[in-house]
Amino acid sequence: MYKISTDHLTELFSSISHDRALYMPIEKNGQVQFDRWMEDKKVRLDALNTVKSPKDLFFPQSENIVAFKIKGKNISIIENRDESEPFVVFGVRACDAASFDILDMVFLQDPVDTYYKARRDNGIVVTLACSEPEETCFCSVFGIDATNPSGDIATWIVDDMLYWESLTEKGERFTETIKDLFESADFLDEEALKSHKEDVEKIIEKLPLHDLSLDGFNSEAMDEKFNSPKWEELSEACIGCGTCTFICPTCQCYDIRDYDTGQGIQRFRCWDSCMYSDFTRMAHGNPRTSQVERFRQRFMHKLIYFPTNNDGVYSCVGCGRCVAKCPVSMNIVKVIKAMGVDENV
Amino acid sequence: MCNCNHSADEALIPGLGVVTDIRVDTPDVKTFRVNALDGGVCFEHMPGQCAMLSIPGIGEAMFSITSSPTNTKYMEFSIKKCGCLTEWLHQIEVGQQITIRGPYGNAFPVDTEFKGKDLLFIAGGIGLAPLRSVINYVRHNREDYGHVDIVYGSRSKDDLVAYDEIIDEWCNEDDVDVYLTIDREEEGWDGHVGFVPDYVKELKFDTNKTAIVCGPPIMIKFTLAGLEELGFDKTQVYTTMELKMKCGIGKCGRCNIGSKYVCKDGPVFRCDELDELPDEY
């Protein structure tokens, strides 16, 4: 393990950004988002959740797929995908880091999505352990340890020291290139970090959603949960705005569309939302005509369908963004509480 | 395997095909013959599989491949005019290039469960399109299968897809019985009149057959009920489904029902498998 004084972080960032793009939580117009670091940017490593998750570094909100030129009856195909460059994303929280594993289960499964894979291959994920988890946090429910985040490299900030530990070969190779900036952590540092983690664990244990139970959310319960009369009441307030899907680190449904650039046709893909009425609409009809059906689909997918296909892994990481951002205060926590085994939690 | 310039490493990037023949089947169905630019088929497929066709700038959508894989000269798609892309396709002329990618989805188990069985095909309207691929595959490998019954119905005689092939070829085949029906009486039609599900019940088929059903959702629903009344078990009945799709590879999320993605786990399902899915299709 290495360490660097937080007073020298600018040097660290400057050195990293020398030969690759560096992204981290940056405040702009009062909102903290993952953005490209530059010396004059307002870095906010204290911010817990960025407004959007960092998923768009791997799965951008919109990206070019392929272009076409049309001449009479003839078509020519022009591969013009957005090139992916080597980059580092710094300050990813444990929940968001876990979401990358979930996105991998979708995009890296055969046939591999080469647009996503190129960015995964080019990106180095440097996580930052949480020091002050908030009341909306519930990553522990999904077995995620906010004090020991995954990623290629994990970091911890304790007082005025940042600790740096490579977790993967990729992380190690990268660390080698900048190791002159670090000092080696010693026994006392290890002790300080251990004690810091214990303090944070105590906070996590006392979080209001720490005891949320996922009992009963399994493939055997598919029919029972799907047919529950509670969806009606739970979805009543949903305005179908799709905010939850866009800020969600694990939502990955997408649309593919074409537009006329004036010089040809550009085919692109963009984030889409199962909360929208045209998501499943076909020329001959729509299998989900009401918001209750669309609302049910989103949560059934995260809590039942996805785990059924992925060894029990839920498609939620407990980041709490939907808890904080839904304009009608409906969220996955309320669904889990209402639909779970212990309905009176 | 593929000779249509298909990008080898990315599923979402299509190849090119050219429309080499257009047959007007019904007032709203045309059958498009598609070749790779240098001739032949764009890729190999099995009966029941689908392809993503597109006219860039108009849209891309999933269509079942109606030609049998035993036809290596060209691929065919029977397409009903019912939305933006299909309306556009109905206006194109021979020589028009289109983009094509696939094959997608599973296939009917023609080389396993169907082998040696008596087969009962039941189709309504444009629902014949995916079944025609199986029927012609079975006809081409006739010795591998038992007796074949085909029940096919449409609104009117003019709405029967692939009518000439049915009359000239299927009806003249040994050990193949074809039962056509139309919804309402009309002049010049001396065949059966009535809905497909009722006709299936009237025909009182033996239950020692494997049934393959495709048509509008309502027709499928009543036909399945009718087959059950005749004593068919759900494990003897197959159907093929249609849902909105964008990627075709189980990632974009649109065709998700329960833990299945129709584009990759389907479109072909045995009816007992359908029972395990939420009722949302």
CA distance A219 to chain B (A): 9
Domain end (from A205, A240, A257): A205
The answer as to whether A345 is a domain residue is no
Phi, psi of B6, deg, nearest 5:
-65, 130
Q: Cβ B253–A74 below 8 Å, yes or no?
A: no
Residues 6+ apart with CB under 8 A from A118: A84
What gap in Å lies between CA A336 and CA A323, rounded to an integer?
12
Using DSSP's 3-state secondary structure scheme, residue A87 falls into strand
Whether residue A258 contacts residue A265, with contact meaning beta carbons closer than 8 Å, is answered with yes
Tell me whether residue A213 is in a domain: no
A271 Cβ under 8 Å from any chain B Cβ: no
Distances from the Cα of B248 to the Cαs of A118, A148, A174, A313, in angstroms? 20, 37, 37, 24
Cis-peptide into A327, omega within 30 deg: no
Q: ∠ CA(A332), CA(A336), CA(A337), 5° rounding? A: 120
Rounded Cα distance between B55 and B16, Å, is 10
Among A182, A205, A228, identify where a domain stops: A205
Structure tokens, A103: 């996105």
| Closest-CA residue to B212 (of B104, B102, B137, B157) | B137
Task: Please name the member of A252, A256, A288 whose beta carbon is closest to the beta carbon of B60.
Answer: A256
Statement to judge: residues A184 and A312 lie in one domain: no
pLDDT of B179: 97
Residue of B nearest to A72 (CA): B96
Could you tell me which CATH class the domain B118-240 is placed in? alpha beta
For chain B, what is the largest distance between any 2 Cα atoms, rounded to a whole number of angstroms? 55
Indicate whether A123 belongs to any domain: yes
Q: Which amino acid, A174? A: F
Domain range for A250 = 219-339
* A222 inside 8 A of chain B by CB: yes
CATH dotted code for B15-104: 2.40.30.10
Question: Is there a single domain that holds both residue A238 and residue A197?
Answer: no
Pick from A183, A205, A227: which residue ends a domain?
A: A205
Nearest 5°: CA angle at A212, between A211 and A216? Answer: 125
Peptide bond preceding A249 in cis form (omega within 30 of 0):
no
- Chain B hits for A109, CB-CB cut-off 8 Å, are 250
Helix and strand totals (H; E) in chain B:
6, 15
Considering the domain architecture, whether residues A30 and A104 belong to the same structural domain is answered as yes
Question: Model-level pTM?
Answer: 0.94
Return d(Cα B167, Cα A249) in angstroms, integer. 56
CA distances to A56, A83, B101, B193 from A111, rounded to whole Å, are 21, 20, 13, 47
C-alpha span between A263 and A249 (Å, rounded): 35
Q: Provide the number of CB pairs (under 8 Å) joining chain A to chain B.
A: 116
- Residue B217: predicted pLDDT: 87
Calpha distance A24→A33 (Å, rounded): 8
Phi, psi at B72, each rounded to 5°: -100, 0
Predicted local distance difference test score (pLDDT) of residue A260: 97
Name A271's bridge partners: A254
pLDDT (tens digit per residue) in B100-159: 999 999 999 999 999 999 999 999 999 999 999 999 999 999 999 999 999 999 999 999
Residue A344: predicted pLDDT: 44
d(CA A335, CA A302): 11
- Cβ distance A282 to B250 less than 8 Å, yes or no, reads no
Mind listing the pLDDT tens digit of every residue in chain A (345 residues)?
A: 999 999 999 999 999 999 999 999 999 999 999 999 999 999 999 999 999 999 999 999 999 999 999 999 999 999 999 889 999 999 999 999 999 999 999 999 999 999 999 999 999 999 999 999 999 999 999 999 999 999 999 999 999 999 999 999 999 999 999 999 999 999 999 999 999 999 999 999 999 999 999 999 998 999 999 999 999 999 999 999 999 999 999 999 999 999 999 999 999 999 999 999 999 998 888 999 999 999 999 999 999 999 999 999 999 999 999 999 999 999 999 999 998 865 444
- Look at residue A273 and tell me if it is in a domain: yes
d(CA B173, CA B181) in angstroms, rounded, equals 19
A33 with A157, same domain: the answer is: yes
Do residues A201 and A223 share a domain? no
Helix (H) / strand (E) containing B20: strand B15-26
Q: Give the CA radius of gyration of chain B.
A: 18
Q: Which of B85, B89, B244, B257 to mutate to test the interface with A (most CBs of A within 10 A)?
A: B244
Looking at the structure, do residues A192 and A234 belong to the same domain, yes or no?
no
Cα A59 to Cα A138, A250, A305, B14, B73: the distances in Å are 24, 11, 22, 20, 40
* A109 and A71 both lie in a single domain: yes
Contacts with A297 from chain B: Cβ below 8 Å: 256, 280
Question: Looking at residue B1, what is its pLDDT?
Answer: 40
Burial B224-250 (b: 16+ CB within 10 A, else e): bebbeeeebeeebbbbbbbbbbbbbbb
CA atoms within 13 A on the CB side of B216: 14
Contact A284, B218 (CB under 8 A): no
> What are φ and ψ of residue A62, in 5° steps?
-150, 145
| A282 contacts B242 by C-beta, under 8 angstroms | yes
Do A179 and A320 reside in the same domain of the chain? Answer: no
Structural domain spans, chain B: 15-104, 118-240
For tokens 């939620």, the residue is A316
Which residues of chain B have a CB within 8 Å of the CB of A300? 278
Environment class of A106 (CB within 10 Å of its CB; exposed 0-12, middle 13-18, buried 19+): buried
User: Who among A107, A258, A279 is closest to B254 (CB)?
Assistant: A279
Q: Looking at residue A241, what is its pLDDT?
A: 96
Q: Is residue A261 domain-shared with residue A181, that is, in the same domain? A: no
In angstroms, rounded to a whole number, what is the distance separating the alpha carbons of residues A190 and A192?
6
Judgement on whether residues A146 and A270 belong to the same structural domain of the protein: no
B23, β-bridge pairs: B31
Do residues A179 and A234 share a domain?
no
User: Do A24 and A158 share a domain, yes or no?
Assistant: yes
CA distances from A345 to A92, A303, A340, B210 (A): 31, 18, 9, 50
Question: How many angstroms separate the CA atoms of A332 and A330, rounded?
Answer: 7
pLDDT at B279: 83
- Which ranges constitute the DSSP H helices of A71-144? 94-107, 114-122
The one-character DSSP state at A83 is P
Q: How many structural domains does chain A have? A: 2
- What residue of A is the nearest CA neighbor of B276? A223
Q: Is B264 helix (H, G, I), strand (E, B) or coil?
A: coil
Phi and psi of A186, rounded to 5°? -110, -170
Write phi, then psi, for A223 (nearest 5 degrees).
-65, -45
Residue A214 in domain = no
Q: What is the pLDDT of residues B47-83, one digit of tens each?
A: 999 999 999 999 999 999 999 999 999 999 999 999 9
